């Protein structure tokens, strides 16, 4: 692995160790708001346009992007839920030592 990639990965791992997870209520609220906005936008587009044109294709692209964002958020939530089980098995001192080696 290239030194810069390894350094970025190890630094991200240390930051993830220090980061506090978001509360489940905040995550649920964010997901709910995003889904409501997508539903409202879809309903509005259907009522206004009915046929497919340029505006509808643009709205479809935005909906596709929103779906990707929601998927990434879900993946991050799953990772955060699994982190406490993995965290005790990671040797943080070894990671810090390797970061010092890479920075010199």
pLDDT class for 30, splitting at 50, 70, 90?
confident
Residue 11's alpha-carbon distances to 18, 26, 73, 83, in angstroms, are 11, 26, 21, 16
Mean confidence (pLDDT) of the chain: 80
CA distance 77 to 21: 9
Q: Quote the pLDDT of residue 51.
A: 67
In 1-103, alpha helices (H): 3-18, 24-49, 54-86, 92-103
Q: Quote the pLDDT of residue 82.
A: 76
Percent pLDDT > 90 in the chain is 0
Indicate if the pLDDT at residue 75 is higher than 80.
yes
Residue 42's alpha-carbon distances to 32, 38, 45, in angstroms, are 15, 6, 5
Task: Supply the pTM of this predicted model.
Answer: 0.45
**Span 45-62, pLDDT tens digits:** 777 777 667 777 787 788
Of 1-5, 21-25, 71-75, which range is least confident? 21-25
């Amino acid at each position: 692995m290239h030194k810069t990639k390894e350094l970025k990965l190890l630094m991200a791992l240390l930051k993830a160790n220090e980061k506090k997870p978001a509360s489940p209520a905040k995550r649920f609220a964010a997901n709910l708001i995003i889904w409501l906005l997508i539903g409202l936008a879809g309903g509005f587009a259907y009522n206004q346009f009915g046929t497919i044109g340029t505006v509808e294709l643009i709205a479809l692209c935005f909906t596709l992007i929103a779906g990707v964002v929601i998927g990434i958020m879900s993946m991050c939530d799953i990772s955060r839920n699994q982190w406490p089980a993995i965290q005790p098995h990671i040797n943080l001192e070894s990671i810090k030592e390797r970061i010092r080696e890479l920075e010199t």
